[in-house]
Amino acid sequence: MTVVEAIIQVNQLDPNSRILVVAPTNHAADVIAEYLVYSKLFHPGDFVRFNGFMRQSNEDLLDSIKPYCVDGEFLDSVARHRLIVCTCATAGQFFTLNLPPGHFTHVVVDEAGYCTEPETMIAAINLNLTAGGQVRNPSSVDK
């Protein structure tokens, strides 16, 4: 819930934000997408649950998030969304688009403790940290 609230706040408070939300597994990314849907603040097209090429089928997808799901064949249109949810490994596909540094203003890594350092860097490398880009692990924020 903390991750979802952080995503919602950034999305609402910064209309110029481009948020990349990553998790180490498809299940974890699906849960985030599901909570975003349940917030009733997003409709299909407002965010994308980006599934990588290696995801076997849509049978294991939750019905609630299916309208938000896109796969790799639409990569260029996925990158235009302000809010993208995917796995750490799937985020690497954005390198093929040669996005400019700073394309994503925020990267949220869910369950970062379960990620390897290289996995987290796949998403973080898309940020321009010198121009104010931010990487946040909401579970480690002081309360």
Residue range 70-122, pLDDT digits in tens: 876 777 788 888 999 998 888 888 877 877 777 888 888 887 777 777 777 77
8 Å CB contact between 110 and 23: yes
Report the number of distinct structural domains present in the chain.
1
Q: pLDDT tier at 142 (50, 70, 90 boundaries)?
A: very low
Q: What is the pLDDT of residue 143?
A: 42
Q: What is the pLDDT of residue 5?
A: 93
CA distance 22 to 30: 10
Q: What is the CATH number of the domain that holds 86?
A: 3.40.50.300
Quote the domain boundaries for residue 16: 2-140
Q: What is the pLDDT of residue 122?
A: 74
- pLDDT tens figures, 117-129: 777 777 776 665 5
| Better-predicted residue by pLDDT, 114 or 26 | 26
Going through 45-143 in order, the beta strands assigned E by DSSP cover 48-51, 69-71, 83-87, 106-109, 134-136
Residue 70 β-bridge partners: 50
